[in-house]
Amino acid sequence: MSVFINKDTTLVVQGITGRDGSFHTKQMIEYGTRVVAGVTPGKGGQKFEGTVPVYNTVADAVQATGANTSVIYVPPMFAADAIIEAADAGVQLIVAITEGVPVLDMTRVYPYVKEKGARLLGPNCPGLISPGESKVGIIPGRICAPGPVGVVSRSGTLTYEIVYQLTRAGIGQTTCVGIGGDPINGTNFIDALAAFEKDPATKVICMMGEIGGTDEQEAAEFVKQHMTKPVVGFIAGQTAPPGRRMGHAGAIISGSAGTAAEKLQAFRDAGMGVAKRPIDFVDLVKARLH
Amino acid sequence: MNIHEYQAKDILRAIGAPIPPGEIATTPDEAEAIASRIGKMVVVKAQVHAGGRGKAGGVKLAKTPAEAREKAQAILGMQIKGLTVEKVLVTEAADIASEAYVGIILDRASKKPVFMVSPAGGIDIEEVAATTPEKILKLPIDTRYGLMPFQAMRLGFFLYDDLAKARAAAKIMGQLYTAFMQSGCSLAEINPLVVTPTGDVIAVDAKMVIDDNELDRRPAIAALRDESAEAPSEVQARNANLTFIKLDGNVGCVVNGAGLAMATMDLVKYYGGEPANFLDIGGSSNPEKVVNALRIITADPRVKAILFNIFGGITRTDDVANGIVTATKENPLKVPIVIRLTGTNEEIAMKILTENGFSASSDMDEAVKKAVALATGGQAA
């Protein structure tokens, strides 16, 4: 079992012929993801790698293939349009990998997607992977293994680091979800936690947050009120200075709000396990699996 | 990206917002000339990207052009929060009957720009929010519809009971919202919004922060960047497409990915060291980026050890290894280097490094411990 994507996920790739889009489409196909269509305006009628049909619009792709999920690799200035196009075409899950999307664009995109009843993951996220079933995005497949742990994170490489350490310790994952590092994103920690709570195969959840905003504090409150499964948390940016954007657009301490200390305290108050170092996840998860 | 007060005022003035006349000066002579042109009492204001300019002595009243010259002389070149004042704004001094706060922030929780207005203006709005939250009206705006006239009036009436003043304020709200959207802001503030003794409503100070992601499509706004107001190492890093933030420690960090970069800094601290910087070389693994990263980090004499932490997903670790070899051939290192890399093409990377006299490990904790020991022990490589 898994959350958000599984072996029945049928994927359309927006920006399939671009540099990043083509590279990662090959990786997804290799992993076993059912890539049923690609979209690049003006290249409709072509076949990607001789197998995946390319369409001019997402509407055409969905009509022809019934794709239920989309992944977006278009440049930042076109990402808002691409997300709305996917939602408009009736795609249920839209995964926006693109980094650098203007935040004001997201203020229009978010309510549109919500009103359409679709789920958006990202932007500026690595996507998600349900090991052994499907991968949508850029998370390296070989560092994951099937198992009982749900992973949700605002980061990319930090997630790989922790997932890799879990896998090496013999702990596999149901689904690893990267919600992305932007201040306005489609799916937050609570959405992912709620999905893991409902997924019978997920036994323990690992949550990797970072400085900035209050998403982690709200997630901790959700854990306290609604979760029966154990959650282990980590916050990156304990040494980050206030007022500086630490790479991710959302990773910024404003005044005295959004610090690591405040978030870690919220985790402790919610009875969550707290990993001080990435490697600590291994023992904390092991203790909660048995 | 931060822009200066005078730049934010220029943007607002172009939209028609009522702002007292003022010009920028880089010398006392210019300040005197501007004050003469204005022909009234002026304020000389330091233009730096730091709050608390007034408290630091960077804002002074001047009754005559000669006095404006004197004040400019004192303010130009002064340090405010580590930043040197290169420019002053010389602007007409306003007569103040009352002060209010008007701001728009891009709010993560509501996923909208949110207006914040308060009749308690001229001071720190965070303080007002903490102590007297009832004095602040927060109003989220749906950017698909924009600021509706009734919303602008509601904001105006929250500040002023008088219809004429509420209308004047509402008009300024609309202008600030237009500036916010047209410039791609994450924050725009008028603080204070002033009512003069004659009943005019005017903007006396303005601040704007631009979302960096907007700059590609707004070249006119991008051109407002003042590199002299930033740390040289950060300018150099940005021009090399690296995300770099200078810190106070002595362990120089080179990492791929923002989350891992923060976690690496935290781990340095955990093992008793202090990170010298945040540096994310990003997802693509162009060896040139590694060369630039090393150049920037080694320029800081406080750095006593360099730590590479690379998790190869999209990033190919062999590219990073090649970058390290190239960079150190060009510029031999004077401090020890600790390399941790794992993931894509790890075997090739290890081979490249070993052949060139470097050692590398695949364990993050071991590498961080070693870098901290080298930095605190001060041993040479």
CB contact under 8 A, B213 and A102: yes
- Residue B261 touches chain A, beta carbons under 8 Å: yes
Same domain flag for A192 and A282: yes
- What is the C-alpha to C-alpha distance for residues B239 and B45, in angstroms, rounded to an integer? 30
Q: List the single best residue of B83, B108, B289 to mutate versus A (max A Cβ within 10 A).
A: B108
Structural domain includes residue A2? no
- What is the pLDDT at residue A256? 73
- What is the C-alpha to C-alpha distance for residues B316 and B319, in angstroms, rounded to an integer? 5
Q: Is the peptide bond before B219 cis (omega within 30 degrees of 0)?
A: no
What is the dihedral sign for C-alpha A222, A224, A228, A229?
A: positive
Q: Which residues of B touch A107 (CB under 8 A)?
A: 106, 111-113, 142-143
**Residues of chain B above pLDDT 70, percent:** 98
- Residue B269 touches chain A, beta carbons under 8 Å: yes
CB contact under 8 A, A181 and B365: no
Task: Give A81-129 pLDDT, tens digit per residue.
Answer: 999 999 999 999 999 999 999 999 999 999 999 999 999 999 999 999 9
Same domain flag for A85 and A177: no
Same domain flag for A82 and A180: no
Mean pLDDT of B126-139: 87
Structural domain includes residue A177? yes
Mean pLDDT of A235-256: 86
Q: Which residues of B touch A249 (CB under 8 A)?
A: 211-213
- What is the pLDDT at residue A282? 97
- What is the pLDDT at residue B381? 39
Q: How many residues does chain B have?
A: 381
CATH number at residue A179: 3.40.50.261
Q: Which residues of B touch A239 (CB under 8 A)?
A: 247, 262, 265-266, 268-269, 275
For A50-59, B136-145, B224-233, B305-314, which range has the lowest pLDDT when averaged over its residues? B224-233
Task: Give B99-108 pLDDT, tens digit per residue.
Answer: 999 999 999 9
Q: Residue B285: is its pLDDT beyond 70?
A: no
Average pLDDT score over chain B: 92
- What is the pLDDT at residue B316? 83
**How far, CA to CA in Å, does B378 sit from each of A207, B81, B332?**
37, 30, 18
For A157-171, A244-258, B255-269, B303-317, which range has the lowest pLDDT when averaged over its residues? A244-258
| Structure-model confidence comparison of residues B247 and A243, the more confident one | B247
Per-residue pLDDT band for A263 (boundaries 50, 70, 90) equals very high
Q: Residue B380: is its pLDDT beyond 50?
A: no
Q: Which of B211, B116, B108, B149 has its CA nearest to residue A107? A: B108
CB-based burial label for B90 (10 Å; 0-12, 13-18, 19+)? buried
Same domain flag for A177 and A225: yes
For A189-198, B24-33, B232-241, B273-282, which range has the lowest pLDDT when averaged over its residues? B232-241
- What is the pLDDT at residue B51? 78
Mean pLDDT of B354-369: 94
Q: Is B214 a catalytic residue?
A: no
Q: Specify the amino acid at residue A197.
A: E
Per-residue pLDDT band for B306 (boundaries 50, 70, 90) equals very high
Q: Specify the amino acid at residue B304.
A: K
Instruction: Write down the catalytic residue from B6, B30, B101, B177.
Output: B101
| Domain end call among A70, A89, A121 | A121
- What is the C-alpha to C-alpha distance for residues A188 and B124, in angstroms, rounded to an integer? 31
Which residue pairs, CB below 8 angstroms and at least 24 apart, start in A44-49? A46/A17, A48/A13, A48/A16, A48/A17, A48/A22, A49/A25
Same domain flag for A97 and A174: no
Same domain flag for A149 and A78: no
**How far, CA to CA in Å, does A220 sit from each of A125, A250, A253, A262?**
21, 18, 19, 11
- What is the pLDDT at residue A242? 87
Q: Which of A104, A161, A164 sits opposite B143 (nearest CB)?
A: A104
Same domain flag for A76 and A144: no
CB contact under 8 A, A183 and B313: no
Same domain flag for A169 and A78: no
CB contact under 8 A, B365 and A279: yes
DSSP string for B179-243: HHHHHTEEEEEEEEEEE-TTS-EEE--EEEEE-GGGGGG-HHHHTT--GGGS-HHHHHHHHTT-E
Domain span at residue A21 reads: 10-121
DSSP string for B294-315: HHHHHT-TT--EEEEEEEESSS
Same domain flag for A116 and A158: no
Q: Which of B113, B131, B91, B103 has its CA nearest to residue B192? A: B103
Task: Give B169-220 pLDDT, tens digit per residue.
Answer: 999 999 999 999 999 999 999 999 999 999 999 999 999 999 999 999 999 9
- What is the C-alpha to C-alpha distance for residues A204 and A287, in angstroms, rounded to an integer? 10
Beta carbons of B336 and B239 less than 8 angstroms apart: no
Which B residues in the span 191-220 are in contact with A, Cβ-Cβ below 8 Å?
211-214, 216-217
Per-residue pLDDT band for B130 (boundaries 50, 70, 90) equals confident
Same domain flag for A242 and A164: yes
- What is the pLDDT at residue B284? 62
Per-residue pLDDT band for B140 (boundaries 50, 70, 90) equals very high
| Domain end call among A88, A121, A154 | A121
The residues that bridge with A254 in the sheet, in sequence order, are: A257
Q: Which residues of B touch A183 (CB under 8 A)?
A: 106, 108
Residue A111 sits at φ, ψ, to 5 deg, of -65, -30
Average pLDDT score over chain A: 95
Per-residue pLDDT band for B378 (boundaries 50, 70, 90) equals low
Which B residues in the span 7-66 are in contact with A, Cβ-Cβ below 8 Å?
none
Q: Residue B374: is its pLDDT beyond 70?
A: yes
The domain tally of chain A equals 2
Task: Give A269-283 pLDDT, tens digit per residue.
Answer: 999 999 999 999 999
CATH number at residue A98: 3.40.50.720
CB contact under 8 A, A107 and B143: yes
How many other β-carbons are positioned within 10 Å of the β-carbon of residue A250?
24
CB-based burial label for B197 (10 Å; 0-12, 13-18, 19+)? exposed
Angstroms from A64 CA to nearest CA on chain B: 31
Beta carbons of A18 and A73 less than 8 angstroms apart: yes
- What is the pLDDT at residue B60? 96
Task: Give B18-63 pLDDT, tens digit per residue.
Answer: 999 999 999 999 999 999 999 999 999 999 988 788 889 999 999 9
Q: Which residues of chain A form beta strands (DSSP E)? A: 10-14, 34-39, 47-48, 52-55, 69-72, 93-96, 119-121, 127-130, 134-137, 146-153, 173-178, 204-210, 231-236, 273-274
**How far, CA to CA in Å, does A245 sit from each of A242, B180, B235?**
9, 20, 15
What is the dihedral sign for C-alpha B161, B164, B165, B170?
A: positive
Q: Which of B213, B255, B257 sits opposite A76 (nearest CB)?
A: B213
Cβ partners under 8 Å of residue A115, min gap 6 = none
Same domain flag for A73 and A165: no
**How many interface pairs between A and B have CB atoms less than 8 angstroms apart?**
157
Per-residue pLDDT band for B379 (boundaries 50, 70, 90) equals very low
Q: Which of B142, B184, B255 sits opposite A102 (nearest CB)?
A: B184
Beta carbons of A233 and A183 less than 8 angstroms apart: no
Cβ partners under 8 Å of residue B127, min gap 6 = none
Angstroms from A32 CA to nearest CA on chain B: 18
| Domain end call among A121, A150, A171 | A121
Instruction: Write down the catalytic residue from A24, A226, A248, A290.
Output: A248
Structural domain includes residue A103? yes
C-alpha B358 chain-centroid distance: 37
Instruction: Write down the catalytic residue from B5, B67, B99, B189.
Output: B189
Same domain flag for A174 and A212: yes
Task: Give B45-57 pLDDT, tens digit per residue.
Answer: 999 988 788 889 9
Structural domains of chain B ordered from first start = 21-92 (3.30.1490.20), 98-222 (3.30.470.20), 232-377 (3.40.50.261)
